[in-house]
Amino acid sequence: MSKDKRKAPVEKNETYEAEFVDLTSEGMAVAKIEGFPLFVAGGLPGEKAVIKIMKVGKSFGYARLEKLLITSPDRVKEVDHLGMRAGTMPLQHLSYEGQLRFKQNIVKQDLTRIGKLPDVEVFPTIGMDNPWRYRNKAQIPVRQKDGKLITGFFRKNTHTLIEMEDFHIQDAKIDEAIIKVRDILQEHGVQAYDEASNKGTIRHIMVRRGTYTSEMMIVLVTRSLKIPFVKEIVKKIVEQLPEVVSIVQNINQKRTNVILGEDTKVLYGEDFYHDELLGHTFAISSKSFYQVNPVQTEKLYQLAIDAAQLTGEETVIDAYCGIGTISLALADKAKHVYAMEVVPDAVLMAEKNAKANNISNVTFELGAAEEVMPKWVKAGVKADVLVVDPPRKGLDPAFIEAAIGVDADRIVYVSCNPATLARDLGIFAEHGYITKSAQPVDLFPQTLHVETVVLLSKIEE
């Protein structure tokens, strides 16, 4: 084939008319010119537009939306363009009904393409009545500009801070708290962290708030070991934010994108606040994982509990148990729950939460699931149901091997990544577990993320 024939049919910096035919899992509209795929932020399927070519690769390219010629009926007015630039609300231009269909379709596509499971029924995504102001946690970077502290969010794929004070998807009280804490730090001359020189004090302000309790935790993430005028700062925060029950300093002296460091100091109260979930009260520490949308989490976890089909006689293993949010709900309906978690702080919080809720039929153990589960099996634990809620990377191959060794009748898989879910379901299918349906749940409106609950049943011989 000659070099000319291999050349892309578009040229950088040129403009073209194109129709958007699809939306990727990253939220990019797909246009094709003479079969050559172009990815365009901000477009929607069914729209026609003028696009400008920004980058041309061997098999695909990227373009910028210049002008819409035909608009999708699913397009809605953007609430805040800053949320598009920062990537905090990449789907805000798509109607909420359209977002729910998009997420259902992503799950279906991944199950078919990656898991080779085209026959699994994917139900319509369960959405929210009000898909705004749902986040109960914010981790906001702090930088210096013209001698003042500013807060906001980094522009997508950069370390350039976009000033933002209203995030729209966060609890409004959290947005207010960030501004008040920032201004108090400013009043006392606290310097923001500078990445280039690795100097300065305050790196991030984290705020967590109980959706049902209204209790608030403030975490000051610092590069330095000490905060100047710390007593005065703490006093003012408590005066101006009466919901605050905990103020913690987290120290991170490394040059890293990881937000939290290993060391923490309690500056006020204790290193936890409380919230409620499915009738239980949870103490949540500064480092604890806790779902950011409790309203939808209750729906998600209830689906998982229903899928487990518990009668009160079952032994359940809950892998990746965190602070015990699913474990305690399962324990209400099971004979006994064995739960494990690799994070030491989470196990301590889980045990504390079980005690606070008067639940005794649950055993928590520190360790990796792929190591703990075989040990339990060897000790004679026979699980009827296995519940897994892994991070985005999905299940480790060693875990899947251990899970198959448990030989549970049912596996309930709660996933935050359809691609790794599909991959893992395909592996389980090879080992005698069948998935009949999948239920997406929208925990993150205006974003690309979707949670999914599936039930795997052992194929009867």
Could you give the residue numbers annotated as active site?
Answer: 416
| Residue 66 one-letter amino acid | E
Q: Name the token pair of 103.
A: 């997420």
Distance CA 395, CA 388 (A): 9
Residues paired with 33 in a beta bridge: 36
Kindly list the distances between the CA atom of residue 104 and the CA atoms of 91, 100, 110, in Å, as whole numbers in the listed order: 14, 6, 10
Distance CA 421, CA 390 (A): 9
Distance CA 439, CA 412 (A): 12
DSSP-derived 3-state class of residue 218: strand
**Own/partner pairs for 212-215, CB < 8 Å, 24+ apart?**
212/275, 212/276, 212/294, 213/273, 213/274, 213/275, 213/276, 214/173, 214/243, 215/243, 215/245, 215/246, 215/273, 215/274, 215/275
Nearest to 18 by CA among 57, 54, 70, 59: 70
Q: Name the token pair of 224.
A: 């330095």
